Chains A and B, each alone.
Chain A
Amino acid sequence: MILLLLLLIPFVAGLLSWVAAGGRNTWCRWIALVSLLADLLITLGIWIQHPQDTGQWWYTYRVSWIPQFGISLHLAMDGLSLLMLALTFFLGALAVLISWKEIQTRVGFFHFNLLFVLCGITGVFLTMDLFLFYFFWEMMLIPMYFLIGIWGHEHREYAANKFFIFTQAGGLLMLLAILGLYFVHGANTNVYTFDYFDLLRTPMEQATGRWLMLGFLIAFLVKVPAVPFHTWLPDAHTEASTAGSVILAGLLLKTGAYGILRFVLPLFPEAVVVYAPWIMLLGVAGILYGGMLAYAQTDLKRLIAYTSVSHMGFVLLGAFAFNEIAYKGVVMQMIAHGISTGALFIIAGALYERIHTRDIREMGGLWSSVPLMGSAAMIFVMGSLGLPGLGNFIAEFLILLGSWEANHWLTVLATIGLVVATAYSLRIMQHVFFGQDSRQYALQDLNSRELIIIIALVLVICWLGFYPQPVLHTSQIIDYVVR
């Protein structure tokens, strides 16, 4: 029941804030903020109650929905979902805070969309029914489309369309694969069901399994995004409003990674082994290629967007290394990347609000006028390049450690990615905050609202770096990952 509550709170709040828009804009902001904080508190409460994942499901909720097809409203929560949900509500609440001043048009509708995306993401992280998973997977696209398309920058429509069409194409392949799995399971066991736990032990031929797995995998690779499928991401990130970018980078990409961990690996244990080296190669390609492209960008948000491609490559690398260390690293990376990239987007957004450009050639020497923002950026840039003491370091270290066992050469190549990361990270600092201050901007430093956001993020990223144990405990190994 508590799981249903987690879903319903943003849903109802979304509708409420749309209605409340008729009154005053502040109302919708408060409704959104309070609802997300409430969800965050519930999640943290659960976390405190269950500090360690014992491999069991803490909560399940199941009611029949479309019994003819064996579809049920089946929700369940374990450590992985819990961590993802905590991240979702944390970043969600921050997204509301950042848009407090930035969004001044159709405020009610904005918050409605924001909360609906979050509701969809929550659903994705909780559902244990494949039909329902697809349902939520598609449901979060539409409000995200609006978030980019209405409140974005100059080329927002193009970016929104591209985002939508890419993810939808992937989604349809996944639908085919889900249905294929459904019928294969039905033909073999005579039980027609979309239930995750039943489908887990579907006996099937190897060839069938490989095809079905590809259907799932492509949908998730588009979302992650892996290299040949990544072209929607820089456009979407660049054109979206700050809150949109934070949601995209911090949460939406994670749904792809989550899908790989939760569905691809356990459902197709044989097929994944066959494809694992290739997918790890894709991951490494993403790390290097994304990093190099990031270095070449002059648009600050685009630069950060490409760093996402690079960082999410580590997730792919670790997920297909099939060992516990890499798996923990992957979960850590999902969280740390969400926090650090989200923070970088927030800083880029704050800068844009002040100087109305995202072109880093127009910036330079800003440190003297905005020292607070500069030091915040410094922390997250250092996180991004993997400085020890911050969450990203733990994550990447664990992933590399784990993938070494699986594949030496790919790990070596991935490690080179860290050098690339250093290059582009320092480039951000050098071009934006140090160097020549030719423009002589008179800027206002972070105000108290922004300071609260940044401090929250800094605390979390440092906590992850210095004391990652709670996260590692909670992301307790699921037996299928290790072979």
Chain B
Amino acid sequence: MSYADFISLGPLITLCAAAVIAMLLVAVWRNHRLVYAFTVLAFLMGLMAIVPAIRYIPHLVPPLLVIDEFSLFNTGLILVAGFIIVLLSFNYFEEREERKEEYYLLLLLATIGAMVLVVSRHFMSLFLGLEILSISLYGLIAYLRARERSDEAGIKYLMLAALSSAFLLFGMALIYAFTGHMDFPGIGAALRQAGYLPVSVMAGFGLMLIGVGFKLGVVPFHMWAPDIYEGAPLPVAAFIATVSKGGMLVLLIRFYQDIHGNDYPMLWWIVAIVAVSSMFVGNWLALMQQNVKRILAYSSIAHMGYILVAFLSGVQTGLEAIAFYLVAYFITSIGAFGVVIVMSSSQQDAETVADYKGLFWRYPWVATIFTAMLLSLAGIPLTAGFIGKFYVVMAGVHGHQWVLLFMLAANSVIGLYYYIRLIAAMFNTPAAGEWVAVKPALPVAGNITLALLMILLVGLGVYPTGMMQLIQQMMKILV
């Protein structure tokens, strides 16, 4: 391993080392505060390790990994998201679990899995990353063992993830059988040489899509999402919604680019059908929900559909749009889950819409943040979500995807309804005696984190230029 390899992989290595040290720490001295502080530090170190890595890009670690602007940007995004989730976790677990130290260990491991996904350009590293992520998630989802739904969710995820991994492996094998390559550029070159898409490779892509689609939570592989969002501890749900999905999406983009996916209309159609059905099913089912976590779950299915519209546009702007949308979506999702976290008491998560009734008059500050997050999810001006949606629509228009865009517009309107309903509930004045029992613990750290997220949200919504410049620089390398 050369010096350049070492520096380039700095963030990954930092986090791996941190995971090991965290394990030893737990073995030696169980102390929640200590592990928490250490994890926060680890994430910060990981973020700082990105800075020296910039000097060596683009850097290949053949044949498995590639470190370029694109992967570093997404690594940074994942690390920041993980960092914020850790900040929001402390109070949540302090109140609920006796043995909370291993949570941080698992979270570090899951983050490593996602980071491997964004730097991989080979089936081996893809699978390794995916499994590191999935296996840590089994533990994370079922972490609050005392809760009934938690076990159920964990087992459900275990079953489905294992199944989808099997599909993924089978798909990879089929592709390997035809092309003789396991690295993405190699596959792309082999397919180009062949000049057509043989049935076995097509089937391989289809099977891989099942595995990828499962992780992304797109229709028709979305069944797990609402149950797992509902059953998992809230910070873990936030993690799944953002880091896990984001990592997989980045991998999908790289894979699609490297195999020149745009050359094969069949692939386009498959993804397009997935995108449209995700938007409709996600939004439609979200309309029916009375549980905030499930609403967020279904809305995230719909949001993946929106992102796929940009993905399908086949233009440079589309990739930038995805990156921007991901940033906005990360901020918004973590923010929304953060609100649910600070609103939840130790006995009960604040998860029904009724819990939020009249919130604005009880806790105006939290309600304002939640409103901002929901408006961002709905794509209303002054929020990052608006610019994100604008960017996506722009990419779609640029790529002349009019049908997809009309679907997107129709779905935005459907989506608006349930976000608005939640907001309306917060502004509703409950009748006397209807005050709900949820007594939130509002920790200082949580509040500060939420405030920062909101500033970020509005900042990107009002002045997105800086972020756009950054993204445009990073996306050049890909095309």
Residues of A within 8 A of B375 (CB): 142
Max count, chain A CB within 10 A of own CB: residue among B361, B386, B394, B472:
B394
Do the beta carbons of B409 and A169 come within 8 Å of each other? yes
Do the beta carbons of B381 and A173 come within 8 Å of each other? no
Task: Say yes or no: is A313 at the interface (Cβ < 8 Å to chain B).
Answer: no
Task: Say yes or no: is B424 at the interface (Cβ < 8 Å to chain A).
Answer: yes
Selected from B380, B394, B398, the residue in CB contact (under 8 A) with A142 is B380
Interface string of A129-148 (1 = CB under 8 A from B): 00100111011011001100
Residues of A within 8 A of B413 (CB): 165, 168-169, 172
Task: Say yes or no: is B382 at the interface (Cβ < 8 Å to chain A).
Answer: yes
Residues of B within 8 A of A145 (CB): 420
Do the beta carbons of A173 and B409 come within 8 Å of each other? yes
Residues of A within 8 A of B333 (CB): none
List CB contacts (< 8 Å) of A209-249 with chain B.
none
Known: A68-B469, A138-B386, A173-B409. A179 touches B393 (CB 8 A): yes
A204 to chain B, nearest CB (A): 14
Stretch from A1-9, A156-164, A273-281, A380-388 forming part of the interface with B = A156-164
Max count, chain A CB within 10 A of own CB: residue among B421, B428, B465, B468:
B465
Residues of A within 8 A of B382 (CB): 139
A53 to B386, CA, bound (A): 36
Known: A65-B465, A66-B464, A169-B409. A175 touches B390 (CB 8 A): yes
Selected from A68, A142, A149, A183, the residue in CB contact (under 8 A) with B465 is A68
Considering the complex, give the chain B residue whose CB is closest to the CB of A137.
B381
A67 to B465, CA, bound (A): 7
Interface string of B456-479 (1 = CB under 8 A from A): 000000011100110010000000
Task: Say yes or no: is B363 at the interface (Cβ < 8 Å to chain A).
Answer: no
Selected from A69, A106, A160, A173, the residue in CB contact (under 8 A) with B424 is A160
Selected from B398, B424, B427, B463, the residue in CB contact (under 8 A) with A183 is B398
Task: Say yes or no: is A180 at the interface (Cβ < 8 Å to chain B).
Answer: yes
Interface string of B397-436 (1 = CB under 8 A from A): 1100000011001001100110011001001100000000
A179 to B409, CA, bound (A): 13
B99 to chain A, nearest CB (A): 44
List CB contacts (< 8 Å) of B354-390 with chain A.
361, 375, 380-382, 386, 390
Residues of A within 8 A of B386 (CB): 135, 138
A138 to B412, CA, bound (A): 13
Residues of A within 8 A of B406 (CB): 176
A168 to B406, CA, bound (A): 14
Residues of A within 8 A of B468 (CB): 66, 68
B71 to chain A, nearest CB (A): 23
B295 to chain A, nearest CB (A): 16
List CB contacts (< 8 Å) of A106-150 with chain B.
106, 131, 134-136, 138-139, 141-142, 145-146, 149-150
A159 to B336, CA, bound (A): 26
Known: A146-B427, A149-B424, A161-B424. A168 touches B416 (CB 8 A): yes
Selected from A67, A106, A139, the residue in CB contact (under 8 A) with B381 is A139
Q: How many residue-residue contacts, CB under 8 A, span A and B? A: 69
Do the beta carbons of B381 and A135 come within 8 Å of each other? yes
Considering the complex, give the chain A residue whose CB is closest to the CB of B461.
A135
* Chain A residues within 8 Å of chain B by Cβ, number: 33
A164 to B472, CA, bound (A): 34
Interface of B is mostly: helix
Do the beta carbons of B412 and A168 come within 8 Å of each other? yes
Residues of A within 8 A of B381 (CB): 134-136, 138-139
Known: A68-B465, A68-B469. A176 touches B397 (CB 8 A): yes
Do the beta carbons of B420 and A161 come within 8 Å of each other? yes
Do the beta carbons of B427 and A164 come within 8 Å of each other? no
Max count, chain B CB within 10 A of own CB: residue among A65, A106, A142:
A142
Residues of B within 8 A of A164 (CB): 416, 420
A142 to B375, CA, bound (A): 9
Do the beta carbons of B397 and A179 come within 8 Å of each other? yes
Selected from A136, A141, A179, the residue in CB contact (under 8 A) with B380 is A141
List CB contacts (< 8 Å) of A173-227 with chain B.
173, 175-176, 179-180, 182-183
Residues of A within 8 A of B417 (CB): 161, 165
Selected from B398, B405, B416, the residue in CB contact (under 8 A) with A176 is B405
Considering the complex, give the chain B residue whose CB is closest to the CB of A136.
B381
Residues of A within 8 A of B409 (CB): 169, 172-173, 175-176
Residues of B within 8 A of A65 (CB): 463, 465
Do the beta carbons of B472 and A68 come within 8 Å of each other? yes
Residues of A within 8 A of B420 (CB): 145, 161, 164-165
Residues of A within 8 A of B464 (CB): 66
A467 to B421, CA, bound (A): 48
Do the beta carbons of A66 and B427 come within 8 Å of each other? no
Do the beta carbons of B416 and A165 come within 8 Å of each other? yes
Residues of A within 8 A of B361 (CB): 106
Residues of B within 8 A of A165 (CB): 413, 416-417, 420
Do the beta carbons of B469 and A138 come within 8 Å of each other? no
B72 to chain A, nearest CB (A): 21
Do the beta carbons of B424 and A157 come within 8 Å of each other? yes
A150 to B406, CA, bound (A): 32
Residues of B within 8 A of A149 (CB): 424, 427
Max count, chain A CB within 10 A of own CB: residue among B393, B397, B406, B428:
B397
A176 to B380, CA, bound (A): 15
A316 to chain B, nearest CB (A): 24
B320 to chain A, nearest CB (A): 9
B421 to chain A, nearest CB (A): 8
A149 to B405, CA, bound (A): 30
Residues of A within 8 A of B421 (CB): 161
Residues of A within 8 A of B424 (CB): 149, 157, 160-161
Do the beta carbons of B427 and A175 come within 8 Å of each other? no
Sample of 5 A–B contacts (CB below 8 Å): A131-B390, A138-B380, A160-B424, A176-B397, A179-B394
Among all A-B residue pairs, the 7 with the closest Cβ atoms: A172-B409, A179-B397, A138-B381, A169-B413, A139-B381, A135-B381, A66-B465
Q: A65-B465, A138-B381, A142-B380 are in contact. List 9 more A-B contacts (CB 8 A).
A: A66-B465, A134-B381, A136-B381, A138-B380, A168-B416, A173-B409, A175-B390, A176-B409, A179-B393
